[in-house]
Chains A and B, each alone.
Chain A
Amino acid sequence: QQQVKQSPQSLIVQKGGISIINCAYENTAFDYFPWYQQFPGKGPALLIAIRPDVSEKKEGRFTISFNKSAKQFSLHIMDSQPGDSATYFCAASNRGTSGSRLTFGEGTQLTVNP
């Protein structure tokens, strides 16, 4: 019930291409879905987030698509750049429990080749 499943585990994209990372969840009480980006040796940092009453949110080259009925959400990185190479984590939380405690996916290691 508390798990968030993320795929793929790793992804290699050419510069300028589109990177797509998918996540699925079971707990219908989740009401906050952020994506975090982590560079080697650093802690994860918030990239973009969405709430379940919105189907899409775009910030620059990053877009979250959300499908409430399928309990799935995805991150799209348009015009991927070598500087986007990092590990990406999807997450979810339920404000009804433990504040903003996040349940994270397993992570996707993205490599963007120049």
Chain B
Amino acid sequence: GAGVSQSPSNKVTEKGKDVELRCDPISGHTALYWYRQSLGQGLEFLIYFQGNSAPDKSGLPSDRFSAERTGGSVSTLTIQRTQQEDSAVYLCASSRGRLGQGILSGANVLTFGAGSRLTVL
């Protein structure tokens, strides 16, 4: 598609429930990122996928968080046993980037989706 698509745009859930957030990156983009944006805060890195390489999971805050990327395209972020502190906007981004490409080329430009706002009651 023309942009990064995320669904749902809004999700309200009860504490303890599992949630799945979906990201459709721009076609042809090999890199996909998940970030979390809490109210009034910056963007917190969660996980990064690049092609068929093992994902960089170093930003996942706990083992309740996991993500997968099927077929090098769509990605799903899963939060198990949600807690109130998980409430945030979850942003997905994609880029054409690969390690070593020119740093000001379009390859390093992250295109973000509008995010999925998660509210845990």
Given the complex, which residues of B lie within 8 Å of A106, measured CB to CB?
Answer: 41-42
| Interfacial residues of chain B within 79-109, with CB under 8 A of chain A in the complex | 91, 93, 95, 97-100, 103-104, 107-109
Size bin of chain B's contact surface = 20 to 34
| Interfacial residues of chain A within 27-78, with CB under 8 A of chain B in the complex | 31-32, 34, 36, 41-46, 49, 51
| Interfacial residues of chain A within 90-114, with CB under 8 A of chain B in the complex | 93, 95, 98-107
| Interface segment, one of B13-21, B60-68, B110-118 | B110-118
Minimum Cβ distance to chain B for residue A6 (Å): 7
Q: Helix, strand, loop or mixed for chain A's interface?
A: loop
Whole-angstrom CA separation of A99 from B115 in the bound complex = 22
Minimum Cβ distance to chain B for residue A42 (Å): 6
Whole-angstrom CA separation of A104 from B44 in the bound complex = 7
With known contacts A32-B103, A98-B56, A101-B33, A107–B42 Cβ distance under 8 A: yes
A interface list, Cβ under 8 A from B: 6, 31-32, 34, 36, 41-46, 49, 51, 89, 93, 95, 98-107
Q: Besides A51-B103, A99-B50, A101-B56, 8 other CB < 8 A contacts?
A: A6-B42, A36-B112, A45-B111, A98-B48, A99-B99, A100-B31, A104-B45, A105-B42
